[in-house]
Amino acid sequence: MARPTADDGAQDLLDASLALARTQLIGQLTDETSLDGRTMGTLGFNGALLAADVAARGLLGAYWWVPLIAVGLATLCCLRPALAFGPNFARPTDFGPLADEFYRTFADGPSTVGREQMLDDLSKAFANNARRFAAKQRALRAALIILAVGLSAATLLIGLD
């Protein structure tokens, strides 16, 4: 039985790092998909609020239009990522290098060099996606805060009318 060398340990560490980087990228993309789903749900909720407000305007009195402000602002917050405004939204999802190009680039060299480059590329992809994900999170959080504060204020105004 061959004894492991220091180089074997480095290769094992590189293999583990590559597996971790792939897992983290997949997890990040799953989280982003979930966030997009929650944003779309909020947009649907805003649409229902809009329809209910317009349908009940006679019952709500003179301030029937006040909830529309909160719904409109929250909708704009939700749509901002979907419409790709700003530097964080304009970037497409980064999945790392294209497999065929990567293979052609590193096929003739030592596999360690290619695998190290793959680890670096996957780390950069994760960082690129993280900025966009954080911006989407902020947009959804802002929409929910606007809805909560705006609808509470509308409730008070309509109730006091």
Residue 6 lies in a domain: no
Residue 2 falls inside a structural domain: no
If one counts the domains in the chain, the total is 1
Q: What angle do CA 120, 123, 125 make, to 5 degrees?
A: 110
DSSP 8-state assignment for residue 62: G
Summarize the confidence of residues 23-30 as an average pLDDT.
95
Distance CA 70, CA 78 (A): 12
Q: Is position 66 within any domain?
A: yes
More confident of the two residues 132 and 138: 138
pLDDT of res. 91: 67
Tokens read off for 140: 């959804």
Whether 8 maps to a domain, the answer reads no
Residues 44-61: what's their mean pLDDT? 95
Residue-number span of the structural domain to which 93 is assigned: 13-160
* Whole-number pLDDT of residue 89: 55
Does residue 73 lie in a domain region?
yes
Q: Note the Cα 154 to chain centre separation in Å.
A: 30
Q: Write down the pLDDT at residue 92.
A: 82
Domain presence at residue 21: yes
Average pLDDT of every residue of the chain: 90
pLDDT of residue 76: 95
pTM: 0.81
Does residue 4 lie within any of the structural domains? no
Q: Is the pLDDT of residue 90 over 90?
A: no
Residue 2: is its pLDDT beyond 90? Answer: no
Residue 35 lies in a domain: yes
Check the CA dihedral 33-38-39-40 and report its sign: positive
**Nearest-CA neighbor of 84 among 25, 30, 36, 121?**
36
